[in-house]
Structure 1
Amino acid sequence: MSVAVARVPTLSASRYLQQLAKHWSHKMEVAFTAEEGSIAFPNGAHLAMRADSQTLDLVLTVPEDGDMARMREVVASHIDRFAFREGPLTYDWQEG
């Protein structure tokens, strides 16, 4: 598995976490609270999220045969849709 981690500066982290989780809950296995979320993608990838007052922390895990760059783009573009008043947000993806 490949892992990428990002700390996204935003004062609306909890709102974006919940919006993303609700958005994908009809298609994927999702669990979330106001502070934490988890999304299991059909391709075997997994997104863990944690929100605090200053940042949205993302941990994206993708199978070795998966496309990490594409999955990072999918996650970021969906969050940016919810952050249209503030975005685009800054995603400093690091290999984990």
Structure 2
Amino acid sequence: MQNLWRAQKTTEAGANLFIELNYFVNHLILIKIIRKMSMISLTGTYDTPNGSRYLQQLCKHFAHKVEAQCTENSGFAALGFGDTTFVATDSALVITIALKGGEDPMDAQRMIDAHLVRFAFREEFETMSWSIDAHAAHH
């Protein structure tokens, strides 16, 4: 540890590199701990008056490959990265994904967003507003 401290103090550029590398390593370790000890859920929200239409399109599309079902205002799909629920209101589409252990949240977000880009092209959709929630897994 003393050698690292000396290397950090040697130059400002070196110190900044050390700090950035240290942050990156700690971030990776934290992600691994969260994935092992937590249940991660993602929630995407898209403000649109057409949530019901997109919910039904997504569920029907996913039903060709996985278990999926829907009504006008709610749906479910057993996607590869985790169970996914869909809720449509008059003003939004909300998608919640309970990620399976070890799945990358960014992959799930990209996949859902990519499908909505095709279905919501008239609205020039780009991405849902995503949030992530990690909570202790029940053992």
Same fold? TM cut 0.5: yes
Give the AA of the match of 2:112: V
Deviation at 1:44, TM superposition (A): 4.8
Runs of 4+ in 1 over 6 A off after TM superposition: none
- C-alpha distance after superposition, 1:24-65 (max 9, x if no partner): 101000010000010101x35111110011000111111121
Q: Secondary structure at the match of 1:4?
A: strand
CA contact (8 A) 1:60 1:72 kept: no
Q: TM-score, normalised by structure 1?
A: 0.91
Unaligned runs of 5+ in 1: none
Unaligned runs of 5+ in 2: 1-38, 134-139
1:28 aligns with 2:28: no
- Which structure has more helix as a fraction of its residues? 2
Q: What is the distance in 2 between the residues matched to 1:61 and 1:76?
A: 16
Partner of 1:78: 115
CA contact (8 A) 1:8 1:89 kept: no
- C-alpha distance after superposition, 1:51-92 (max 9, x if no partner): 011000111111121111001110111012100110224411
Q: How many residues align?
A: 95
| Relative contact order higher in (CA < 8 Å, ≥ 6 apart) | 1
Give the AA of the match of 1:74: M
- Which structure has more strand as a fraction of its residues? 1
Deviates more, 1:62-71 or 1:31-40: 62-71
Q: TM-score, normalised by structure 2?
A: 0.64
Deviation at 1:95, TM superposition (A): 1.1
1:54 aligns with 2:54: no
**Aligned Cα RMSD in Å?**
1.3
CA contact (8 A) 2:81 2:108 kept: no
CA contact (8 A) 1:46 1:61 kept: yes
